[in-house]
Amino acid sequence: MPDVVARLSVTLSETMNNIKPEFGQIGEIIHVINSISFQTNILALNAAVEAARAGEQGRGFAVVAGEVRNLAQRSSLAAKEIETLIRESLDRVHDGSEFCERAGTTMDEHRPLCQSG
């Protein structure tokens, strides 16, 4: 029985460690989203400047530019929130993996006691 529990602990630890690269890939995607949000925000700002220069004829375009800027800011905020959640989840995965490793080591240390009892 102790061998089964030890193997399960190792398998769980390996599974949790396999999740880490996927979090890294998600982080890279969030970086791209942040970059797009930043660039979109700059474009919206430039569009607002051009709309202001156009005067009355650019008024409708200024509204569109403002909405694009709002969307860029919301996208950036959402990406930051996701990034925080991923970081917190990765910390939990790391903690869980370490716990499994410690549990496996403890089981290995106590195996002789279980077998003799």
Q: Name the more confident of 3 and 88.
A: 88
Domain ranges of the chain: 2-116
Distance CA 84, CA 97 (A): 20
- Summarised one tens digit per residue, pLDDT across range 38-52 is 999 999 999 999 999
Helix axes of 59-116 and 2-54: crossing angle, nearest 10 degrees: 170
- Summarised one tens digit per residue, pLDDT across range 32-86 is 999 999 999 999 999 999 999 999 998 898 999 999 999 999 999 999 999 899 8
Q: What is the CATH number of domain 2-116?
A: 1.10.287.950
* Threshold 0.85, pTM exceeds: no
